[in-house]
Structure 1
């Protein structure tokens, strides 16, 4: 088995500072896989199967933990943290990946390219404090791939976009600067856009790939769970299953960065609580009227802001209820013990 130094694994002063005043016998390890009842982690001494001290959902691939070799006793605060509202009816936050330097948002130069969906991914990436990189695959099957690249880069000055033929290993090497020398690149995107093909080229693995369905152009899931894997360039890659549901929560800062042009206009409105509907002195309405602000972009901004606020408030309320219920249970247990002691 290949052994890695802490530096190879992405260790930095940020984590070293958190290690101070902690039992010196505990070793740092980076989570490479998260399962229901155990974690797989990498350290200087090799691979470990760890028991999570908390629920498995509290950990994400890419996290650093301190361990005695058996249990993940302490999770260190991450530098970057990708998360979303959990899919389905559960009101909770789901961590996707941690300590990622760059989030590769993978879409393709065909019907999969969707501005509204790409903005969701961008808001998620920016809110995590990681760098966003739009990776446009299937460039070899498109007459003008640069047209898709320009559309992506117009979404924000913070966006870098690159067109790639995922089936050409030499072309994929253009991604090496984002996953070399201990840098971590995470791939996010829908099924069928070429994430697994990119992963194979970047890591040297031979994971099976599946064709997109002919009836609707959508892909089938190939990656079934998130995993941290070493790249041929000396860095790390986190591949993720295709996401068909991406609900934003806690991403207000990411939305502000992504829609900085609208946020700047909103700051010029006469009223600080302007809803940009019928208020006088609304700079946003003026921009919409003179055409300097696109109506569809404004509509997407409002929709994402409402969704993020609603989900964030719902998750906060759910956590408050859980804490309140926990206190009630503790008080009931304490009263029961006191009563038994009195009766005895």
Structure 2
């Protein structure tokens, strides 16, 4: 029987999704942004499905009447929407993304690692203890700004802290565009405080170190124990990995929730815009320097040096900006070099194959 996919397109006349019966795709996070990329013929021949897990042997996708593991092929990550080819699933097409989290892969491998796609809000989770680190939080915020995703810092274990105000003030000072909340991840508090971002059709993600309460927050939103949790080490407040892979969960109201493993390393690459947005004050000053190639060191007419001398910016904040800018440039250059090397290798292989055919 042919399905009626007309409900998956934006309502005529600008009507809201809430004014009609929610479809299966609605509950998976289907939005007009994705519907506008396809036509009726596409939907009938290749129905939409969302990637809910990435395995070594393929992608776990879910859709209307679809729940299957497809072989590797589409360049996709958790949260992506595919037009699933039933006959050749490895040839399924990935729809253009609303947002994408990416980083340089850990270790020495010079490649980009896709973390998650099509996220509307990212909750950057840290604790009111020795895990709290402004420099690390700035990396996550820059990642969110670069992806054009709303960032919210969540300070967990507030019930174990005598005074959460210093943590809240330090987190809020990272950016004027940032919201910071303190809460207890184990009670009903998350469902109340996070409700404004967890509406129908929204996709939220939790990012942060191990042991800060990401899985506990997911469980609190789902009102069950669907995700395993673990205790932190008492000697250094570091967490143990309890989530081993990125996975989408779905709330009854149609909000998609992404839980992720703790990240020991977050190397930024292709994130120049995100860093500029995070340090918008320093970025603006850099544009006022007398020389366009100012290194902000000993050059005359350096606006950043002037701001530092006036106390408008702190040496610590400037040092963190310099470190992130240098890291991003190095990583992006390394990735570009790798891509150039791969293209050169492909040209060599094609030339050899062409010679052998003669």
Q: Deviations over 1:19-45 (max 9, x none)?
A: 247474111111000111111111111
1:4–1:49 distance in 2 versus 1, CA, 3 Å = farther
Residue 89 (structure 1) shift: 0.9
Q: Which residue of 1 aligns with 2:200?
A: 181
Q: Which residue of 2 aligns with 1:202?
A: 221
1:169–1:23 distance in 2 versus 1, CA, 3 Å = closer
Q: Which residue of 1 aligns with 2:212?
A: 193
For the residues of structure 2 that align with 1:298 and 1:310, how far apart are their CA atoms?
18
TM-score (norm 1): 0.93
CA contact (8 A) 2:50 2:79 kept: yes
CA contact (8 A) 1:165 1:172 kept: no
Q: Which residue of 2 aligns with 1:29?
A: 49
Residue 203 (structure 1) shift: 2.0
Q: Which residue of 1 aligns with 2:266?
A: 246
For the residues of structure 2 that align with 1:324 and 1:288, how far apart are their CA atoms?
45
Q: Which residue of 1 aligns with 2:113?
A: 94
Match of 1:16 among 11, 28, 35: 35
CA contact (8 A) 1:202 1:232 kept: no
The alignment covers a number of residue pairs equal to 333
Residue 270 (structure 1) shift: 1.1
The 3-state SS of whatever aligns with 1:156 is coil
Task: Indicate yes or no: 2:85 matched with 1:68.
Answer: yes
TM-score (norm 2): 0.89
Q: Which ranges in structure 2 are unaligned for 5 or more consecutive residues?
A: 1-21
Q: Which residue of 2 aligns with 1:341?
A: none
Residue 4 (structure 1) shift: 5.2
CA contact (8 A) 1:30 1:41 kept: yes
Q: Which residue of 2 aligns with 1:342?
A: none
Q: Which ranges in structure 1 are unaligned for 5 or more consecutive residues?
A: 339-344
The 3-state SS of whatever aligns with 1:52 is coil
Q: Deviations over 1:176-206 (max 9, x none)?
A: 2222201111100000101111111112341
Q: Which residue of 2 aligns with 1:165?
A: 184
Task: Indicate yes or no: 2:311 matched with 1:294.
Answer: no
1:325–1:23 distance in 2 versus 1, CA, 3 Å = farther
For the residues of structure 2 that align with 1:37 and 1:196, how far apart are their CA atoms?
25
CA contact (8 A) 1:138 1:166 kept: yes
Q: Which residue of 2 aligns with 1:139?
A: 158
Residue 15 (structure 1) shift: 1.9
Q: Deviations over 1:62-84 (max 9, x none)?
A: 00111134615111111100000
For the residues of structure 2 that align with 1:110 and 1:172, how far apart are their CA atoms?
23
For the residues of structure 1 that align with 2:241 and 2:122, how far apart are their CA atoms?
20
CA contact (8 A) 1:132 1:159 kept: yes
Give the root-mean-square deviation of aligned CA atoms: 1.6
**Structure 1 residue ranges, 4+ long, deviating more than 4 angstroms after superposition:** none
Task: Indicate yes or no: 2:103 matched with 1:84.
Answer: yes
CA contact (8 A) 1:196 1:223 kept: yes
For the residues of structure 1 that align with 2:313 and 2:224, how far apart are their CA atoms?
46
